[in-house]
Structure 1
Amino acid sequence: MNQQEFESFLISIRRHLHQYPELSKQEFETTKYIKKWLKELEIPIRNTELETGVFADIKGGKPGPIVAIRADIDALPIEEKTGLSYASKIKGIMHACGHDFHTAALIGAAHLLKENQSQLNGTVRLIFQPAEELGGGAKYVIEDGQLEGVEAIIGLHNKPDLPVGTIGIKEGPLMAAVDRFHIVLNGKGSHAALPQNSHDPIVAAGQLITALQTIVSRNVSPLQNAVVSVTQIIGGSTWNVIPGEVSLEGTVRTFDPIVREEVKARFYSIVNSIAAAFIQTVEIHWFSGPPPLVNHQSVTEIVEGAAIEQSLNVIHPEPSTAGEDFSYYLLHIPGTFAFFGTNGKEDWHHPAFTVDESALLKAAYFLYASARKLLD
């Protein structure tokens, strides 16, 4: 097929996926569709113990290493409000992070690799990963043995605030470690008119929220980066009763493993001290998510060269405090992750999130060219 037909093919795949999004670990139909497209390209699919996700190898005509390209395939529990003719047909679920774009781009790269299979100096492994939004899908893939023999890995993520044709590539930290916390303060309730009979958890929660902000402002070096955000507070049921319990939830984002541990230690110290000061018993639940995404120098340099050869405008972006479980792969093998400009009006996880589909063909060629350059 010619370039125009190829672009139309990729857009049709992306739009199909967009209409039928599936949540993490529930990507059953998405898995079937990916397998169907790969089988049409006569690309052999690898065995897996995972219920969702697809893995396949394109073995080149010449001996060489194995490199991997990864795309994520899951969607989010968001009601779509884009007004697109191909908007989600599944109520309350939407590809609001562009994983349909990533999947279609990888299928496009697979098509190009298959066309040029005899020229490949090694093997390219295709990883269509489930459950990225849960922050642990990459771990399932690794445990399933899909990195065995792989010497390097590459991936990308659409970036709405970058124009089409621009790509953000940098070595070192690109995305943050993601931790989640849930705090329950148990005090003593009373009539609101008799506060002396209470151990008020709402007052304690107010002091706690303020104190937690000092972790970044007074414990993390100004030359480092960290975020501590309380995003949910639940307590009380009416206007004239002091409740006995308040719960708080939120997230911590860091780029350095040492800072990550220091922030956690300070967090526990502050929560326990505030609870004691306001006569509260406290439960702290800490959920460790993906580590920082740190790109390897050698692979990043090779991929940047491929981007330049594809006439993309290469920039070195600021790190993002969003998280990405691609970071787990980088703990095991060298690799790099790039931001690909899609000129969207809204950012990730927004109900009106969209991508400019003219970026899709460019993304497919970028992944193809990067894999070939890594093999060479």
Structure 2
Amino acid sequence: MGANHHGVIVNFPNIEQRLVDIRRHLHQYPELSNEEYETTAFIREQLEQAGIRVSSDYALPTGLIAEVGEPYYAEGPIIALRADIDALPIHEQTGLPYTSKIPGRMHACGHDFHTAAILGAAFLLKEREHELKGTVRFVFQPAEEKAVGAVKMLQAGALEGVRAIYGFHNKPELPTGTIGIKAGPLMAAADGFVIELEGVASHAAVPDASIDPIVTAAHLVTALQSIVSRNINPLESAVISVTKINSGTSWNVIPGKAVLDGTLRTFDEEVRSRIIERFEEIVNGVAAAFRTKATLRWIQGPPPVTNDADLAVAAEKTAKRLGLTVIEPKPSPAGEDFAFYQKEVPGFFAFIGTSGAKEWHHPAFDVDERALPLSASFFAELAASELERLAASQE
């Protein structure tokens, strides 16, 4: 047993190197959302080698669920730790010796780091299984990048009997040894939209014979920006971005159709609903003004990640007890389907510093692997102490 300079107790033989090896293996063999077959098999192998039981009750093609907890605490509480396991369709440009061996695929969001860290927490908790006042369930979730994995895990029963769930994301701009803990909104609801505008095509020299969808699209891009600036309280946060416009085939033809894609990010469900309502009014109104037919389709993403206040307090106590530097992070406009779990049970999501030079989804993204044992120890200690607290509350 030993302690590193952050005061984190590491009581699993050679855990630092083992977690690095796990993370680097996953990094070399990334798999995209819903294709994580080899990743799932590798996680299962690591768990079974450590004597951790993998549940056979959840029929999932990718992803898995495992548990640690002694039978004589079967009536005790259950809490869950979640890791996402999928990669991105990005060609890696890190130059690392363990760079991705699969062209065009990369762990550019650090899910390899998340998986290794939660495996580490499982190893540490297995070592003290006889002390646990309940059960820790480990949810290794596929398809976070498609924002559908959490829903699949819920449908499979991943949270049956669970009192609380915990997760995290690496944060490149935070230094290693730092953890971001915040009650309330932490990450945004992430919705997509597609607007199809149907007009009437004509020769570009005869615009009066057309109903020009490009003109309508141009006015829409401008008008939609007024929602945040004029319909939302300045103290509330929201983002509307039109990110793609497709229209036309030739320089001398006014096309008959234009398609706009984009995203809406919000941190509050009431604001989200209000913006969607106003968005639809503007799309229909602008289209009518220019005699264009508009069809709006929403691609509903995850709701905002909103941390339970009591769980945040417990997480802060654990982090400080382990010598980690605690900061209150700024909310991120990125989306995270961990929020779907928080709709079902109280949940807490942390940002763990990894001293990265590049942001998420960059082809040169990397993490400081010294944060692996820190993350594993934090979640193991948090899980054990929270089980004890919950068990005491139900006696």
Q: How far apart, CA to CA, are the structure 1 residues paired with 2:364 and 2:27?
A: 13
Find the counterpart in structure 2 of residue 105 from structure 1. Answer: 117
Q: How far 1:62 sits from its partner (Å)?
A: 5.8
User: Structure 1 residue 26 and structure 2 residue 35: aligned?
Assistant: yes
Written as runs of structure 1 = structure 2, the 5 A alignment for 1:337-348 is 337-348=349-360
For residues 212 and 188 of structure 1, the distance between their equivalents in structure 2, rounded to whole angstroms, comes to 23
Q: Deviations over 1:260-312 (max 9, x none)?
A: 11100111110111111111111111111111111001111111111111111
Identify unmatched segments of 5+ residues in structure 1: none
Aligned position for 1:313: 325
Any idea what SS the aligned residue of 1:267 has?
A: helix
Corresponding residue to 2:65 among 55, 77, 88: 55
1:59-98, aligned counterparts within 5 Å?
59-60=69-70, 63=73, 64-98=76-110
- What TM-score, normalized to structure 2? 0.93
Matched, 1:11 2:23: no
How much does 1:109 deviate? 0.6
Residue pair 1:254, 1:321 contacting (<8 A) in 2 also: yes
Alignment partners' CA distance in 1, 2:78 and 2:298: 37
Letter aligned with residue 163 of structure 1: P
Instruction: Note the C-alpha offset of 1:65.
Output: 1.1
**RMSD between aligned alpha carbons?**
1.3
Residue 114 (1) aligns with residue 123 (2)? no
Residues of 2 paired with 1:119 and 1:256: CA distance? 40
Contact 1:62 1:119 in 2 (8 A): no
Instruction: State the match for 2:5 in structure 1.
Output: none
The residue correspondences of 1:280-319 to structure 2 (distance < 5 A) are: 280-319=292-331
Give the structure 2 partner of residue 268 of structure 1.
280
Once residues 266 and 15 of structure 2 are traced to their aligned partners in structure 1, the CA distance between those partners, rounded to angstroms, is 41
Q: Secondary structure of the equivalent of 2:19?
A: helix
Equivalent residues in 2 for 1:180-191 (5 A)?
Answer: 180-191=192-203
Helix, strand or coil for the counterpart of 1:193?
A: coil
1:212 aligns with 2:221: no
**1:253 matches 2:262:** no
* Superposition deviation, residue 61 in structure 1: 7.0
What SS class does the counterpart of residue 14 from structure 2 fall into?
Answer: helix
Separation of aligned partners in 2, 1:94 and 1:318: 27
- Paired residue secondary structure (2:310): helix
Identity %: 55
Tell me the distance in 2 between the aligned counterparts of 1:130 and 1:274: 40
- 1:123 corresponding residue in structure 2: 135
> Which TM-score applies when normalising by structure 1?
0.98
In the alignment, residue 29 of structure 1 is paired with which amino acid?
E
2:340 counterpart residue number: 328
Structure 2: 5+ residue runs without aligned partners? 3-9, 389-395
Per the TM alignment, residue 13 of structure 1 is displaced from its structure 2 partner at its CA by: 0.4
Q: How many residues align?
A: 376
Amino acid at match of 1:56: A
| CA apart distance, 1:60 | 3.5
| Counterpart selection for 1:35 from 23, 44, 58 | 44
- Secondary structure of the corresponding residue to residue 121 of structure 1: coil
Alpha-carbon offset, residue 20 of structure 1? 0.6
How far does residue 238 in structure 1 lie from its aligned partner after superposition?
2.1
Task: Tell me how far apart the structure 1 counterparts of residues 41 and 290 of structure 2 sit (CA, whole Å).
Answer: 55
Distance in 1 separating the partners of 2:231 and 2:196: 24
Q: Which residue identity does 1:205 align to in structure 2?
A: A
Alpha-carbon contact 1:24-1:74 (below 8 Å) kept = yes
SS at match of 1:140: helix
User: Among 217, 224, 232, which residue is 2:244 paired with?
Assistant: 232
Distance 1:297 1:19 in 2: 38
The one-letter amino acid paired with 1:353 is F
